[in-house]
Structure 1
């Protein structure tokens, strides 16, 4: 396997083995700048379709469904955040790509921030879409609320699972993943990660609420981005758009694509 950015002449899709599982991956190939897309916590690579279409052939687009997400990616014994960061390396290695722009939405933004922070020599830039904002939003009450939410959603998620719209994780596993994200989000945990980023990085922020949030909870979390940009000159706010968290990739895909162009 070559260590340089190899290219293919046509779109490839297939399973990438990693640890005890395999991830369904798509690579458009070509000689453009590689961009690897990191999904929301329980989302799939299909969410990026409009962003990819807007960016077009000037980029090489690599997408994949995380462990137990989508129709094809397999289950695993490990659904931790660290496993998700590890999967970025596994997918890039499988496609023969050494350096790439990393872009993530929601949960994927946290993965992107960690990967860019740990791999300054390999990250060609980073785009954080309505995620990776340091905030101490997790407390005992919120943890209980998360567990209750996923337990209540269980009948729906099980019903939709064959379509790939909901993950192959149990309600308890989904809740634990969300609670782990709350710990990763804490200012003392995420702040140093963001401060350590040395590549051009852009935020694209949504407005209003997200699924499961109440009132202005999400806007209070987003407010932390100002301090992040003040501390680190490599990080800037590219845009704050009208779409809410859940619709940003569909309704404001141009702003997201423009942020990729900025760091490229």
Structure 2
């Protein structure tokens, strides 16, 4: 059962979608257009997509949501795993009575979107993956310790920002474990087969330079792994590489993301 609020003016819907031991805050603009479901960065919120939504406009149906313990309203959970995030895509789509959708994911959400598209070839219209879902072995023991120290160091400030929804209602240890698990999901032997199995049109939009917590040219080395991936799977292509960095791409280069969505959506109309 969902709790909700419906606007008769534009058929938009906002409400809570129960899943497992929690509930997720969801917004659905409604309308007859191709459904787009947006998958957030690891600790980000649905508000990050507002410029992309505005650029794409009412031609599309936009479904956004905050993951477990993210944002102001989504509830806590005993499970913050990557697999739980993939399951949540199905839960949100089912609650909104959507069978087929185009997934748009940024950063962590790009990994979730790649997995969902790979597992659901009959339900995925396509995918747009924004500076994420790149197979690269960046996690080692030293990196694990670096991640744990980083989140422990930030532990004093994140609780102060939680009322704003800008930081998750998770402990520093939980946030670190999520990031470490992402490193394992990112490994070439883990992610490579997932990307190889994608059979729907998929476009990457890549940032340039660094991201929060990265050093030197780490991010550029990770992005370079996509050359071989795209060469091996004709369904995957790099749509654009933009000037903004990882953290600012949805704010500064939202138009490139919107254009990639339009490119993928055109396949659903033309079949080619």
Structure 1-normalised TM-score? 0.97
Deviations 1:201-255 (A, max 9, x none): 0000000000000010000000001111000000000000000000000000000
Where in structure 2 are the equivalents of 1:62-211 lying within 5 Å?
A: 62-211=63-212
Question: 1:212 maps to what in 2?
Answer: 213
Kindly report structure 1 stretches of 4+ aligned residues shifted beyond 3 Å. Answer: none
In structure 2, what is the Cα distance between the partners aligned to 1:120 and 1:54? 27
Q: Secondary structure at the match of 2:205?
A: strand
CA-atom RMSD, angstroms? 1.0
Question: 1:226 maps to what in 2?
Answer: 227
Q: CA deviation at 1:199?
A: 0.1
The runs of 5 or more residues in structure 1 that have no matched partner are 2-7
Question: 2:46 maps to what in 1?
Answer: 45
In structure 2, what is the Cα distance between the partners aligned to 1:228 and 1:122? 23
Q: CA deviation at 1:172?
A: 0.1
Q: Secondary structure at the match of 1:246?
A: helix
In structure 1, what is the Cα distance between the partners aligned to 2:228 and 2:11? 43
In structure 1, what is the Cα distance between the partners aligned to 2:233 and 2:158? 40
Q: CA deviation at 1:11?
A: 1.1
Deviations 1:158-209 (A, max 9, x none): 1101110000010000000000000000000000000000000000000000
Q: CA deviation at 1:156?
A: 1.1
In structure 2, what is the Cα distance between the partners aligned to 1:81 and 1:163? 24
Q: Secondary structure at the match of 1:194?
A: helix
Q: CA deviation at 1:67?
A: 0.1
Deviations 1:70-93 (A, max 9, x none): 000000000000000000000000
The runs of 5 or more residues in structure 2 that have no matched partner are 2-7, 266-272
Structure 2-normalised TM-score? 0.94
